[in-house]
Amino acid sequence: MVNIQWYPGHMEKARRDMQDSLKAVDMIIEVRDARIPLSSANPMLDQMAQGKPRLILLSKRDLADETVTKQWIDALSREDRIVIACDIAKDPNVKKMVVDASKKLTEAKRQRMIRRGIKPRAMRAMACGIPNAGKSTLINRIAGRKSAKTEDRPGVTRSLTWIHADASLEILDTPGVLWPKFSDPRTGSKIAAVGSINEDILDLKSVAMDTMHIIRRDYPGLLENEFHCESGIRTDRMLDEIARERHLLKNDGAMDADRAASLFLHELRRGAYGGISLERPDEEDNKDLSE
């Protein structure tokens, strides 16, 4: 199991800015990756959230296992929390879903304003999430224009920006933030597998093998069928089989395991192997879900 840590200086500044700005918002819109709904939840957010209602948006639904995603929606839902799964880039009703859910979560506060004789103002939400989870794409879909810079690499958004989403909702966009230390190395490995950590610092072979172990456990035969290899092969030999199947050779004719690891992870991230979830709410380690 690879032990990964990635917490650049700009993330610490973003965390402080987020903590200061939380005082000015009524709710939180948290974007998580539907393939890893628990690992992509920032534990620092629970400490900073101050009990504010939360909309959890499970992004990249098209890349996850639909059945498992439904299980996560049930497991993560609370009285003050709405959970929605979507393909942020393609689902036509993303903005409406977010606005409607935000109105529902803040309705009690609006009613308190009305009872006190105060004309309800637009509710304010903070949008946050780990790098590359789809938050900037969400902001652009809601704003109807390219407000937030988006790239298929983590750590692009660096500043806080207010977005007018609707007459009843304003959203504060924030940078993608991880946390200083992963208490469980499996968390870092899963986050790396979906592309939310800068690849320059990664041992891609270790990340690939960690990920293949999960897939072979939960989706028996999938990788063996994809790469035409024997079912009993050890996971540490799978990279050679991928290199053989995809014709990835070194100059001396040996199998190029490094290129095989990179290819495997990039194919996984674009959904080449079908909808795959890398964690499930009924796993023993996940039964005590984060609040």
Using alpha carbons, list the distances in angstroms from residue 181 to 25, 43, 44, 94, 159: 27, 10, 11, 33, 22
Lowest pLDDT segment from 68-82, 106-120, 156-170, 181-195: 156-170
Torsion 143-150-17-191 (CA) sign: positive
CA triple 27-129-172, angle to 5 deg: 45
Strands in the chain per DSSP E: 27-33, 54-59, 81-85, 123-129, 161-166, 169-173
Q: Which of 227, 209, 215, 286 has its CA nearest to residue 65?
A: 215
Note the Cα 58 to chain centre separation in Å.
7
pLDDT in tens, 116-131: 999 888 999 989 888 8
Residue partners of 209: CB distance under 8 A and separation at least 6? 235, 236, 238, 239, 261
User: Does the pLDDT at position 154 exceed 50?
Assistant: no
Mean pLDDT over the full length of the chain: 85
pLDDT in tens, 46-87: 777 778 999 999 999 999 999 999 999 999 999 899 999 999
